[in-house]
């Protein structure tokens, strides 16, 4: 190794971000000689306590930590998730599913959806959802792991994620991190000591006068952004013109009837409402624009549409869409809410923590803190935020709703340039692209564009290499296989019981 090694890692904050970072760093580099990992958190301040829906990439994180799925599901009261059901986003009364995974099968070397678009032009009225095993299984309340041993079945590649209790998840990761040697210090950080010349953070000062020294600081202090914002003054790139929602009310309620493996997102007059069914309760929240609805009206909307009795009063949260201009500055790396916020419409925040940790591990510094590596980290982080932002904005922009000021604003907003290009390409000939390492796949872009009523002007000419009746017959066959495969799966409750993990 070239350069003096970082010996003391200090993580500020013990929310989801802090404990994810602690558990992963302990697992991957914790055994390096002389390395210490210390996490400072304040019981008095607490965590945001929301953040319950994930995307399939969380499985990679669990694999890295060698987490046993049954233990994980049981300890976090988790349920499975095969996608998100969007209600009332396109127009009132309309619904569609953004499924994980893929649509249809490979037919003649072009993407499946071109055959589906051709079928539509021939009068076939099937929905794109009908060609996704994840969507059909979710509609039926069924679940299974993928079965790679059945390569011809759509089950071979089904993808899934989890929905869990955020507080239990942080506790679960804490136990693993502490078992891996992470030291937890309870206390409130009141100040940070910086090197006079370089501005590097040298130590934290706690309210009871303790001092915590470090070489590398990971700021997981949530919206407070203690080190990256308050100490180092790194600015915030504000995206509220594209994503105007700036508040949320969150409340759990008793479990309802609908236990399908889905997160539900219902568009409301000034934002949208999430519904996340867990084993022991259902998580709910209304994400809204304070410029378009009062807090009282938002609370009435939320409380008036729960599955069962509310378990406490709604918690109020305030935020701004955007990100820190540099997630890594000097010897401080910001993860989680300290680094930025994109509303949980596609459940991406925990994933952003995960990729931030992965990048930090890839570019793990020496005490020299190479500026080129830091610049690389920051460029990749910003691109990831931009890509997700554009996908979120699509949901708001592609709507027919004109029943409130909020929806009129969203429908008519000027989209970011890359999104405008994506929309134009789909509108012309049904082309869908995934840029470079972009998180969301063609399936995701397609599901939301089609689901929210963007009409493709054409389809790939190669789809016409199949005779019209052959296209329709194959589409019908695929739908039948998907429907039949789904019908053979256990319900999600049966699956979790078989796993010995609850319900």
> In the complex, which residues of this chain contact ligand FAD (CB under 6 A)?
13-18, 40-42, 45-48, 50-54, 166, 188-189, 220-222, 224, 226, 248, 250, 285, 317, 319, 336-338, 344, 347, 349-350
> 15 labelled as ligand-binding?
yes
CA distance 57 to 75: 20
Q: How far is the CB of 162 from ligand FAD (least distance, A)?
A: 10
CA 440 to mean position of chain CA atoms: 10
Q: How far is the CB of 112 from ligand FAD (least distance, A)?
A: 29
> 27 labelled as ligand-binding?
no
Cα separation values, 53 from 29, 263, 302, 308, 449, Å: 28, 7, 18, 20, 22
33-70 b/e with 16+ CB inside 10 Å = b?
eebebbbbbbeeeebbbbbbbbbbbbbebeebbebeee
CA distance 322 to 172: 29
490-503 b/e with 16+ CB inside 10 Å = b?
ebbeebbeeeebbb
Length of the chain: 503
Q: Is 81 a catalytic residue?
A: yes
> 350 labelled as ligand-binding?
yes
| Both structure tokens of 427 | 């509108």
Q: Which residues lie closer than 8 Å to 60 by C-beta, 6 or more apart?
A: 354
Q: How far is the CB of 38 from ligand FAD (least distance, A)?
A: 12
Q: Which is nearer to ligand FAD, 166 or 374 (CB)?
A: 166
Q: Tell me 363's DSSP state.
A: T
Q: Which is nearer to ligand FAD, 13 or 214 (CB)?
A: 13
> 14 labelled as ligand-binding?
yes
| Both structure tokens of 62 | 């669990």
| Both structure tokens of 487 | 């019908």
Residue 361: CA atoms inside 13 Å, Cβ hemisphere, count? 20
- The catalytically annotated residue of 27, 81, 118, 152 is 81
Q: Which is nearer to ligand FAD, 356 or 365 (CB)?
A: 356
Q: How far is the CB of 221 from ligand FAD (least distance, A)?
A: 4
CA distance 91 to 206: 52
Q: How far is the CB of 30 from ligand FAD (least distance, A)?
A: 20
Q: Which is nearer to ligand FAD, 51 or 261 (CB)?
A: 51
> 81 labelled as ligand-binding?
yes
Q: Which is nearer to ligand FAD, 182 or 456 (CB)?
A: 182
> 441 labelled as ligand-binding?
no
| Both structure tokens of 106 | 């490979």
> 16 labelled as ligand-binding?
yes
Cα separation values, 424 from 187, 199, 227, 420, 456, Å: 53, 46, 42, 6, 9
> 457 labelled as ligand-binding?
no
Q: How far is the CB of 94 from ligand FAD (least distance, A)?
A: 23
Q: Which is nearer to ligand FAD, 102 or 164 (CB)?
A: 164
User: Which amino acids are annotated as binding site, given as ranges?
Assistant: 14-17, 81, 189, 337, 346, 350
Would you please indicate which residues are annotated as catalytic (active-site) residues?
Answer: 81
User: Which amino acids are annotated as binding site for FAD, given as ranges?
Assistant: 14-17, 189, 337, 350
User: Which amino acids are annotated as binding site for 7-chloro-L-tryptophan, given as ranges?
Assistant: 81
């Amino acid at each position: 190794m070239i350069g003096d090694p970082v010996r003391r890692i200090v993580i500020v904050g013990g929310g989801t971000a802090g404990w994810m970072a602690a558990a992963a760093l302990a697992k991957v580099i914790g055994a390096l000689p002389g390395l210490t990992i210390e996490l400072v958190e304040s019981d008095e301040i607490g965590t945001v306590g929301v953040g319950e829906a994930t995307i399939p990439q969380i499985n990679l994180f669990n694999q890295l930590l060698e987490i046993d799925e049954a233990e994980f599901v049981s300890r976090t009261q988790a349920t499975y998730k095969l996608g998100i059901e969007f209600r009332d986003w396109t127009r009132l009364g309309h619904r569609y599913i953004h499924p994980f995974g893929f649509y249809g099968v490979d037919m003649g070397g072009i993407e499946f959806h071109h055959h589906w678009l051709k079928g539509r032009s021939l009068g076939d009225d099937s929905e794109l959802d009908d060609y996704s095993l994840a969507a059909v299984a979710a509609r039926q309340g069924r679940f299974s792991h993928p079965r790679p041993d059945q390569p011809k079945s759509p089950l071979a590649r089904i993808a899934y994620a989890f929905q869990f209790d955020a507080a239990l998840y942080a506790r679960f990761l804490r136990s693993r991190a502490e078992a891996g040697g992470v030291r937890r210090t309870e206390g409130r950080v009141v100040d940070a000591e910086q090197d006079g010349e370089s501005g590097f953070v040298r130590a934290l000062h706690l309210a009871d006068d303790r001092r915590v020294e470090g070489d590398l600081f990971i700021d997981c202090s949530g919206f407070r952004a203690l080190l990256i914002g308050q100490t180092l003054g790194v600015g915030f790139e504000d995206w509220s013109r594209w994503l105007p929602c700036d508040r949320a009310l969150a409340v759990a309620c008793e479990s309802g009837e609908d236990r399908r493996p889905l997160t539900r997102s219902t568009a409301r007059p000034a934002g949208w409402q999430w519904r996340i069914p867990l084993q022991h309760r259902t998580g709910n929240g209304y994400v809204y624009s304070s410029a378009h609805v009062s807090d009282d009206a938002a609370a009435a909307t939320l409380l008036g549409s729960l599955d069962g009795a509310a378990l406490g009063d709604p918690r109020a949260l305030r935020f701004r869409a955007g990100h820190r201009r540099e997630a890594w500055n000097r010897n401080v790396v910001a993860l989680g809410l300290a680094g930025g916020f994109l509303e949980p419409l596609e459940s991406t925040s925990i994933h952003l923590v995960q990729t931030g940790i992965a990048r930090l591990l890839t570019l793990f510094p020496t005490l020299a803190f190479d500026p080129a590596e830091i610049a690389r980290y920051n460029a990749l982080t910003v691109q990831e935020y931009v890509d997700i932002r554009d996908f979120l904005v699509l949901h708001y922009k592609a709507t027919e709703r004109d029943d409130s000021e909020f929806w009129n604003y969203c429908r008519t907003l000027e989209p970011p340039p890359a999104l405008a290009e994506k929309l134009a390409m789909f509108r012309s000939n049904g082309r869908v692209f995934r840029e470079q390492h972009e998180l969301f796949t063609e399936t995701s872009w397609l599901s939301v564009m089609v689901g929210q009523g963007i009409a493709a002007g054409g389809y790939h000419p190669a789809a016409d290499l199949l005779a019209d009746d052959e296209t329709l017959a194959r589409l019908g066959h695929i739908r039948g296989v998907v429907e039949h495969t789904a019908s053979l799966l256990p319900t999600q409750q049966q699956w979790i019981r078989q796993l010995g993990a609850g319900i």
